[in-house]
């Protein structure tokens, strides 16, 4: 009699653990958004709660309060299914056909202009982050060389 295949028995458990981790991480990210949204509403801030939540998450990632592995699986899942979040907006847009026929060119202009502004802002932010990263790396190398020469 042969031994049962143990890999077949552990695979569903591993998948269940991964699904649980994804659920918990996505719930924590959503909880951060809810907390940030409540903060925005309470403080009457002129920015969306999602933006404040992203800034808070970024600050937590930079200061080490949260490590990327604690949110990666949940964030990957949310990003992979992001198109589903736009279905209600698309359905709502279909209900306003007359508005699109009357002012469609203006709406298209706003969408194209907004998209271009976002693309430029993201390119600028990525460029600045890359420059900062290079400066920090050069500073670390410089400090390491100074430490070797001092020793």
59 and 125 both lie in a single domain: no
| Tally of domains within the chain | 2
Instruction: Choose between 111 and 6: higher pLDDT.
Output: 111
In total, the chain counts a number of residues equal to: 151
Closest residue by Cα to residue 73 from 81, 84, 65: 81
Torsion of CA 81, 85, 87, 89, to 10 degrees: -160
User: Are 19 and 78 contained in the same domain?
Assistant: yes
- The whole domain housing 137 covers 96-151
The tens digit of pLDDT for each residue in 31-87 reads 998 999 999 999 999 988 888 998 999 898 889 888 888 888 888 888 887 777 777
Structure confidence at residue 77 (pLDDT): 86
Taking the model in full, what pTM does it have? Answer: 0.50
86-130 per-position pLDDT tens digit = 777 777 777 777 877 888 888 889 889 998 999 999 999 999 999
Among candidate residues 86, 114, 133, the one where a domain is terminated: 86
């Amino acid at each position: 009699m042969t031994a049962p295949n143990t890999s077949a028995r552990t695979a569903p458990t591993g998948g269940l653990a991964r699904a649980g981790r994804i659920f918990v991480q996505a719930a924590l990210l959503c909880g951060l958004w809810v907390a940030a949204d409540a903060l925005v509403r309470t403080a009457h801030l002129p920015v969306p709660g999602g933006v404040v939540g992203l800034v808070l998450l970024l600050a937590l990632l930079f200061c080490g309060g949260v490590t990327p592995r604690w949110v990666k699986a949940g964030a990957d899942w949310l990003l992979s299914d992001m198109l589903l979040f736009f279905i209600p907006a698309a359905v709502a847009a279909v209900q306003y056909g007359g508005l699109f026929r009357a002012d469609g060119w203006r709406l298209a202009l706003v969408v194209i202009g907004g998209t271009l502004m976002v693309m430029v802002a993201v390119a600028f932010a990525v460029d600045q982050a890359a420059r900062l990263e290079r400066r920090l790396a050069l500073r670390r190398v410089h400090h390491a060389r100074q430490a070797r020469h001092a020793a």
